[in-house]
Structure 1
Amino acid sequence: MDGVLSQEEINALLNEPGAEASDSAENELSDAQKDAIGEIANISMGTAATTLFSLVNHKVEISTPVVSYGTWDDIVQEYEKPCVFIRIAYTVGLDGSNILVLREHDVKVITDLMMGGDGTNTDGELGELHLSAISEAMNQMMGSAATSLSSMLNRKIDISPPNATVINLQEDIDEAEIDSFLTGKFVKISFHMEIGDLVDSTIMQLYPISFAKDMCDGVAKTMEMDSQSVTADSSAANSGNPAGAQPAAASAAAQQSQQMASQNTAQMGQPMGQPMGQTMMGNTMMNQNMGQPVNVQPAQFSAFAGGNLGNYQPENIDLIMDVPLQVTVELGRTTKSISDILDLGPGKIIELNKLAGEPIDVLVNGKYVAKGEVVVIEESFGVRITEIVNASRTGGK
């Protein structure tokens, strides 16, 4: 009315630079938030590494995380070969999801170790067996990580079963095949992972920026509540112990100090190396400046109870009960030269190392586990198990 433009009108004429600055700020994390995300990831992946150790029975080391921003082009450049995207969605306590990116070789090694192998069976392409096994492994790993996160955020955290997908980054990816937050700017957390001498690689955890901020806010609120609780406890302690009132324990210690002092009146000076203003008397240190005795006692520790580590069983073993294993029945073996193999033809008989009526061998994923006998079930052959064999004692086959 007076011919002066309002701030809103000025922003509109200048394409609302204030709004753009606000949007930019919403898509950035402060240094404190980055540190908080790094600490959350460090604690969570440390717990997950312990769980992975129980699954693969090999030493697992995951380094301190490095927090940065990332885009889809960054992922394509760092992972040239096909890799596995594992999506973990939070169902309770947090609203959102994050993605773990593992290399193809790492998934094969972890899967082989979970199946009882030595981690060297990495030939062939990734199949449903690999994806099923790595999903179960991540379900347990991220489940334990969610428990740690629940303590940090002071609320219950739960996840849905992880979903593993093979992504070939060398090909054009349809945006419908990936999470929407991967099409823009997101938080990238990089870890260096080692599994024995089999894996020396890098894994990544990808967060939407809004999801990362939600976790930071949760940690900040938890720290604030803890600080208020400590302040309240301190106030209550001070109110329950008025100035000038000395506890009974301190009074007893003072009496003991006086007795010890009367016995040592013949001694002059203080022991060398003792701080000025303090006198050590028996188990009590007296601060001469403050006049308040401090009771000093040797630390006592309870003895460790012996436990049978051999009976240790990984938790949540039911989660991998549906992982398929290959069962092979071996009738017998023999050794032939190349010339003998070339002479093979229809009607040729090959003599095996098994005697007639001798039990046959049952192998699971190539490991010798049982003996049995051949039976016929309607029109199909079957095996009746007669003995379970300890593969570690027999050396396997």
Structure 2
Amino acid sequence: MDGMLSQDEINALLAGMDTSAGGDAPADAPADGGGDAAPAEAAVSTPPVGGGAIDESLLTDSEKDAIGEVANISMGSSATTLYSLVNQKVNITTPQVELANWENVINNYERPCVFIQIKYTVGLDGTNILILKEHDVMVITDLMMGGDGTNTDGEIGELQLSAISEAMNQMMGAAATSLSTMINQKVDISPPQATVLDMINDDPSDIAEFLTGTFVKISFKMQVGELVDSTLMQLYPIDFAKTLKDTVIAADEGSQEAAPAAAPAPEPAPAPAPQPQMAPQMDPSMMQGQPMPQMAMPQMQMGMPQMMAPQMMNMNIQPAQFQNFSGGTTIMAGGENIGIIKDVPLEVTVELGRTAKPISDILDFAPGTIIELDKVAGEPVDVLVNGKFVAKGEVVVIEESFGVRVTEIVQ
């Protein structure tokens, strides 16, 4: 009535456009000038890689529950490890297991984000991908380097990627240890590889081949103190997820079958066996008028106190003492956290100076060309770590090599 189209009408018009011909003809127009209209589905283009419908029959509900339980135990160990790295309370909730594809991940997760790929090298053969939001990575890496978790400005650089890779290496290492316990064999992982992706313009096959089809998506709600309240995603190939579940169940059934086999071993020498033989020897005295309760007491005193009393007399019994965690926060905030990432390699560059030249001058460069820099002779040179200006120094000669003596640290 007001001359405006409703949303349903707009959707109907868009769905009825003939995209194959590039025109605006509606879907109900005859394709050949006569006959019935071709269905609108015929004009829909082929879904992109990683899209399309999800076949829910690839994974049963019981398989989802089993995979979620394995992931829950593994991620519980990871949460404990992350706490030791960031010195903040870490809570990772019970996982939600579902089937997904690349299109589903793009539409339901914040972009850009950090993909961390871990491969199992010993005990299991498969790939595991963790997805963290960019803000969460900035908070975690800032806490790892002794900050308060609020230094999240700017973009993720090599320093943050190296730090989060080290954090994931320790977290997934703890998870691999839990898996080792569950399947009764050693499990090891490769060093994680972290990459920042916007996902829309990225080809999933360049990340991992299984991302081009349907895969298992495990979602965890992750809380780090009061700084992070977000979602952590874990992606598995379907075949690997099923293999992992079958391996854990087989190991659990094997341990249950082994327990009854070992149980008959103590049976040849039961301790209470001599007691029936002592009862006939006690009967004559009982017949002489002594009450039965009085005769039962010496029998118990011979059986238990003679063996237990000397051991209990020699035992040193003290009240239990537990570690006080209230004061641990300030201790770990400094040296211990930074010590965890001391082996992360960083690129140190010494910059003598800079200048700007037009392309015409650069094309005239030849051996012997002198380029004047913006530094005065004798002025300190700049020391950069991963491209960040951190110090000033003076050039020195060490035997036959150049070096730099640091003269000032830039705050």
Measured in 2, the distance between the counterparts of 1:174 and 1:117 equals 35
| 1:100-119 CA-partner distances (Å, limit 9, x unpaired) | 01001000000100110000
Alignment identity in percent?
52
104, 107, 111: which one aligns with 1:81: 111
1:382 counterpart = 2:411: no
1:184 counterpart = 2:213: yes
Judged with a 3 Å threshold, the aligned counterparts in structure 2 of structure 1 residues 25 and 250 are, in CA distance, closer, same or farther, namely farther
143, 156, 160: which one aligns with 2:186: 156
Aligned Cα root-mean-square deviation (Å): 4.5
Q: 2:161 matched to which residue of 1?
A: 131
Measured in 1, the distance between the counterparts of 2:63 and 2:277 equals 50
> How far off is 1:324 after superposition?
4.4
Judged with a 3 Å threshold, the aligned counterparts in structure 2 of structure 1 residues 325 and 108 are, in CA distance, closer, same or farther, namely farther
> How far off is 1:264 after superposition?
7.7
> How far off is 1:33 after superposition?
2.2
1:325-344 mapped onto 2 (5 Å cutoff): none
Partners of 2:100 and 2:214 within 8 A in 1: yes
SS state of the match for residue 244, structure 2?
helix
> How far off is 1:375 after superposition?
8.5
Q: 2:150 matched to which residue of 1?
A: 120
SS state of the match for residue 263, structure 2?
helix
Q: 1:269 matched to which residue of 2?
A: none
Measured in 2, the distance between the counterparts of 1:89 and 1:182 equals 15
Measured in 2, the distance between the counterparts of 1:376 and 1:184 equals 56
Partners of 1:62 and 1:194 within 8 A in 2: yes
1:182 maps to a residue whose letter is L
Measured in 2, the distance between the counterparts of 1:25 and 1:177 equals 23
2:271 maps to a residue whose letter is A
SS state of the match for residue 122, structure 1?
coil
| 1:253-273 CA-partner distances (Å, limit 9, x unpaired) | 9989x99x84489xxxxxxxx
Judged with a 3 Å threshold, the aligned counterparts in structure 2 of structure 1 residues 254 and 199 are, in CA distance, closer, same or farther, namely farther
1:166 counterpart = 2:196: yes
> How far off is 1:221 after superposition?
1.5
> How far off is 1:64 after superposition?
0.6
1:216-231 mapped onto 2 (5 Å cutoff): 216-231=245-260
> How far off is 1:383 after superposition?
3.8
Extract unaligned runs of 5+ from structure 1: 1-23, 242-246, 266-280, 285-297, 327-363, 365-373, 386-396
Judged with a 3 Å threshold, the aligned counterparts in structure 2 of structure 1 residues 224 and 193 are, in CA distance, closer, same or farther, namely same
Partners of 1:82 and 1:103 within 8 A in 2: yes
> How far off is 1:321 after superposition?
1.8
Q: What number of residue pairs does the alignment pair up?
A: 286
36, 42, 47: which one aligns with 2:72: 42
310, 322, 326: which one aligns with 2:344: 322
> How far off is 1:29 after superposition?
2.5
Measured in 2, the distance between the counterparts of 1:75 and 1:25 equals 16
- Bigger Rg, structure 1 or 2: 2
Judged with a 3 Å threshold, the aligned counterparts in structure 2 of structure 1 residues 262 and 67 are, in CA distance, closer, same or farther, namely same
Measured in 2, the distance between the counterparts of 1:33 and 1:301 equals 48
Measured in 2, the distance between the counterparts of 1:234 and 1:147 equals 28
> How far off is 1:382 after superposition?
2.5
> TM-score scaled to structure 2, two decimals?
0.59
Measured in 2, the distance between the counterparts of 1:134 and 1:204 equals 15
Q: 1:214 matched to which residue of 2?
A: 243
225, 230, 237: which one aligns with 1:196: 225
SS state of the match for residue 248, structure 1?
coil
| 1:49-88 CA-partner distances (Å, limit 9, x unpaired) | 1111111011100001111111111110112320000000
Extract unaligned runs of 5+ from structure 2: 1-53, 304-311, 349-384, 386-391, 398-403
Q: 1:96 matched to which residue of 2?
A: 126
Partners of 2:144 and 2:337 within 8 A in 1: no
SS state of the match for residue 182, structure 1?
helix
Partners of 2:101 and 2:215 within 8 A in 1: yes
Please, which moves more after superposition, 312-321 or 73-82?
312-321
1:85 maps to a residue whose letter is F
Measured in 2, the distance between the counterparts of 1:58 and 1:174 equals 36
Q: 1:109 matched to which residue of 2?
A: 139
1:125 maps to a residue whose letter is E
| 1:278-325 CA-partner distances (Å, limit 9, x unpaired) | xxx99x9xxxxxxxxxxxxx9x98754677987989799566422549
Measured in 2, the distance between the counterparts of 1:180 and 1:154 equals 29
2:181 maps to a residue whose letter is S
Judged with a 3 Å threshold, the aligned counterparts in structure 2 of structure 1 residues 325 and 314 are, in CA distance, closer, same or farther, namely farther
Q: 2:234 matched to which residue of 1?
A: 205
